[in-house]
Amino acid sequence: MKIIMLGAPGAGKGTQAKMIAEKYHVPHISTGDIFRANIKEGTALGVEAKTYMDQGLLVPDELTVKILLDRVAKPDCAEGYVLDGFPRTIPQAQVLDEALEKLGEHIDFCIDVEVPDEHIVKRMSGRRACLKCGATYHVEHVPPKKEDQCDICGSQLVLREDDRPETVENRLKVYHEQTQPLIEFYQKKGVLKTVDGTAEVQDVFAAIAKILG
C-alpha cells in the first residue's frame, strides 16, 4: 500500500504517518526527518538543506527528489510506504508518478489532513521533537511520559528551529503557494481522501483507518 500524507505544516502528517506505519507494517518516510538527521550529522546535504529550512523555504526539488527516489528503492519499501512531507510541489509529484509508472505501480491513497491556519501557529509552539528517532510530541496534546525526554529512544526533546512563529508563517505561505495545488492533482487521479485534522489524534487516526481499510 502506497500512501501520501498531505497537509499544512503542523497538520499532524508525521503523527498520523507513524501510526499508519505501525498498523499497516509499511515504512514511514519523512523527507523532513531525513533532512534533520543529516543536519544533526553535519553532512553536506544537511548543511545545504538547513539554509532553506531555517527560513521556512523548500529545499530545491533536484535534491529532494533524488533522496526520496533512493529511499523508496530500498528493499523495505517493496510492500509500500507512507510518505510524509513528499511530494510538496507539482514537479516532485510528477517525478514520483513517472518513477512509479516505470515500475507499473501507483499511489493508492493521498490523505489530506485539513487544519485551518489559525490552529497551526498554536500547535507549533507546543511541539517537541526527537531529532534521533523522529517522534513528535506536544506539551499539552501529546505529552511525553517524562518531561523533555523521548518515550521511544530516551533522547532529549527539542523545539524545532523552524517552529518559531515568524518561520511558521513563512512555511504556511510556502504551503499555500507550492503544496496546496497537489490537492487538485491527486483529486484528478481519484486517490484523494480528506480528514478533519482538528479532531483528537485518535479520532483522526480512526478516520484514516476507515479509509485505508
The residue (of 3 and 53) whose beta carbon lies closer to ligand AP5 is 53
CA 170/CA 157 separation, integer angstroms: 24
Point out which span in 93-101, 102-110, 131-139, 185-193 binds ligand AP5 (CB under 6 A). Answer: 131-139
Q: Which of 18, 71, 88, 123 is catalytic?
A: 88
Per CB under 6 A, 205 contacts ligand AP5:
no
Per CB under 5 A, 14 contacts Mg ion:
yes
Q: Is 127 a catalytic residue?
A: yes
Q: Is 171 a catalytic residue?
A: yes
Classify 153 as helix, strand or coil. coil
Listed residue (64, 102, 104, 59) closest to 83, CA to CA: 64
The residue (of 24 and 169) whose beta carbon lies closer to ligand AP5 is 169
Per CB under 5 A, 197 contacts Mg ion:
no
Q: Is 164 a catalytic residue?
A: no
- What does 207 interact with, of ligand AP5, Mg ion, none (CB < 5 to 8 A by kind)? none
The residue (of 104 and 202) whose beta carbon lies closer to ligand AP5 is 202
CA 81 to chain centre: 12
The residue (of 77 and 104) whose beta carbon lies closer to ligand AP5 is 77
DSSP string for residues in 41-59: HT-HHHHHHHHHHTTTPPP
Per CB under 6 A, 10 contacts ligand AP5:
yes
Dihedrals phi, psi of 63, to nearest 5 degrees:
-70, -45
Site for ligand AP5 in 148-167 (CB under 6 A): 162
Q: Is 18 a catalytic residue?
A: no
In residues, how long is the chain? 213
Q: Is 71 a catalytic residue?
A: no
Listed residue (115, 88, 111, 112) closest to 30, CA to CA: 88
CA distances from 31 to 5, 24, 85, 128, 199 (A): 12, 20, 6, 18, 25
Closest approach of Cβ 205 to ligand AP5, in Å? Answer: 9
Site for ligand AP5 in 49-68 (CB under 6 A): 52-53, 56-59, 64
Which residues, listed in sequence order, are joined to residue 28 by a DSSP beta bridge?
Answer: 82
Catalytic site positions:
13, 88, 127, 160, 171
